Structure 1
Amino acid sequence: MPAMTTPNLTRPPDGEVIAIMVVWNGLLFLPEGVASVLRELRPQDDLLIVENGSTDGSAEWLHQHYPDIAVLQTGHNLGGAGGFNAGMTAALRCPRCRYVWLLDNDIIVESGALPPLLNQLAHQPNAAAAGSQICLYQQPDTVQEIGALLSPWLGALQQRGAGGPRQSPEQPPAPVDYLAACSLLIRADVLRAIGLFPDFFIYYDDVEWSQRAGRAGWTLWAVPASVIRHHFSGLKPAAAWREYYRKRNRTVFLTLYPPRYGHQWALFVYLIHLHRLILHTHWCGHTVFHQTYAAALQDALNGQLGARALLPSPQLTCLPDLLQTCAMVWIDLPGQPGDAQLLARLLQSSTPAIPCQIIDAAQPQNPAPAACPAAIVGENYRLHTARRAARVYRYRDGHFTPLRHPVRDLIITQMLNGLALLVAMFRAIPDFQRLRTRYRQRQKPLIPD
Structure 2
Amino acid sequence: MDRVCAVIVTYNRKELLRECLQAVLSQTRPPDHVLVVDNASTDGTREMLKEEFPQVEVLALPENQGGAGGFHEGMKRAYEAGYDWIWVMDDDAFPRADALALLLERAGEAKVLVPLLQSSEGHRYGAGYWKGWYKEDNLEALTHTPLRVEIFAFVGPLFHREVVKRVGFPRKEFFIWFDDLEYALRIRKQGIKVLLVPGSVVVHDNIVRRKKVSFLGRSKLRADAPAWKLYYGVRNWGWTILWTPYAKPRMRSLVAYIARNFREGLGDLVYEQDRWTRVTLRLLGMWHALTGKLGRIDLKNR
TM value normalised by structure 2? 0.84
- Cα distance, 1:130 vs. partner? 0.6
Structure 1 residue 34, shift from structure 2 partner: 0.4
The 8 Å contact of residues 209 and 224 in structure 2, kept in 1 or not, is answered as no
Aligned 1:222-301 pairs, distance under 5 A: 222-232=196-206, 233-235=208-210, 236-255=223-242, 256=244, 257-260=246-249, 263-271=250-258, 274=261, 286-301=275-290
- Please, which of 173, 181, 191 is the counterpart of residue 146 of structure 2? 173
Of 109, 118, 121, the residue aligned with 1:135 is 118
SS at match of 1:121: coil
Once the two structures are TM-superposed, the CA of residue 29 in structure 1 deviates from its matched residue by 1.0
Instruction: Tell me the residue number matched to 1:206.
Output: 180
CA distance change for structure 1 residues 271 and 147 in 2, over 3 Å: closer, same or farther? Answer: closer
* Partner residue of 1:49 out of 26, 30, 36: 36
Partner of 2:127: 147
Question: Matched residues in 2 for 1:187 and 1:69: separation?
Answer: 21
Give, in whole Å, the separation in 2 of the partners of 1:159 and 1:179.
11
Once the two structures are overlaid, the 10-residue window that deviates more, 74-83 or 40-49, is: 40-49
Partner SS state of residue 223, structure 1 = strand
Cα deviation for residue 112 of structure 1 reads 1.1
- The answer to whether the aligner puts 1:113 opposite 2:113 as a matched pair is no
Q: Which runs of 5+ in 1 are unaligned?
A: 1-14, 314-449
Match for residue 185 of structure 1?
158
Superposed displacement of residue 41, structure 1? 6.8
Residue 208 of structure 1 aligns with an amino acid whose one-letter code is E
Secondary structure at the aligned position of 1:120 is classed as coil
Equivalent positions of 1:1-400 (< 5 A) are 16-40=3-27, 42=29, 45-95=32-82, 97-122=83-108, 124=109, 127-136=110-119, 138-139=120-121, 142-145=122-125, 147-150=127-130, 152=131, 154-161=132-139, 164=140, 167-168=142-143, 171-198=144-171, 199-232=173-206, 233-235=208-210, 236-255=223-242, 256=244, 257-260=246-249, 263-271=250-258, 274=261, 286-311=275-300
2:256 and 2:127 map into 1 onto residues whose CA distance is 25
The 2-side partners of 1:245 and 1:259 are apart by 21
Residue 113 of structure 1 and its aligned partner are, at CA, apart by 0.9
Letter in 1 for 2:157: L
Partner of 1:426: none
Instruction: Give SS of 1:264's match.
Output: helix
Quick check: 1:197–1:209 contact (8 Å CA) kept in 2?
Answer: yes
Q: Deviations over 1:339-396 (max 9, x none)?
A: xxxxxxxxxxxxxxxxxxxxxxxxxxxxxxxxxxxxxxxxxxxxxxxxxxxxxxxxxx
Residues 164-196 of structure 1: CA distance to partner in whole angstroms, max 9, x if unpaired?
47x55xx21100011211111001121022101
- Cα distance in structure 2, aligned partners of 1:44 and 1:34: 11
CA 1:30–1:43: 2 relative to 1, 3 Å: closer
> 1:48, 1:207 → 2: CA distance?
23
DSSP 3-state at the match of 1:81: helix
Match of 2:216 in 1: none
Write the distance in 2 (CA, Å) between the matches of 1:205 and 1:76.
19
Query: Percent sequence identity over matched residues?
Result: 28
Contact kept, 8 Å, 2:24 with 2:30, in 1: the verdict is no
For the aligned residue pairs, the C-alpha RMSD in angstroms reads 2.8
SS at match of 2:106: helix
Give the total of aligned pairs: 283
Shift of residue 312, structure 1, vs aligned partner: 7.4
Q: Is the 8 A contact 2:93 2:202 kept in 1?
A: yes
Per-residue deviation at 1:44?
7.0
Q: CA deviation at 1:298?
A: 1.9
> Which whole-Å CA distance do the structure 2 matches of 1:270 and 1:101 have between them?
30
> Taking CA–CA contacts closer than 8 Å with sequence separation of 6 or more, which of the two structures ends up with the larger relative contact order?
2
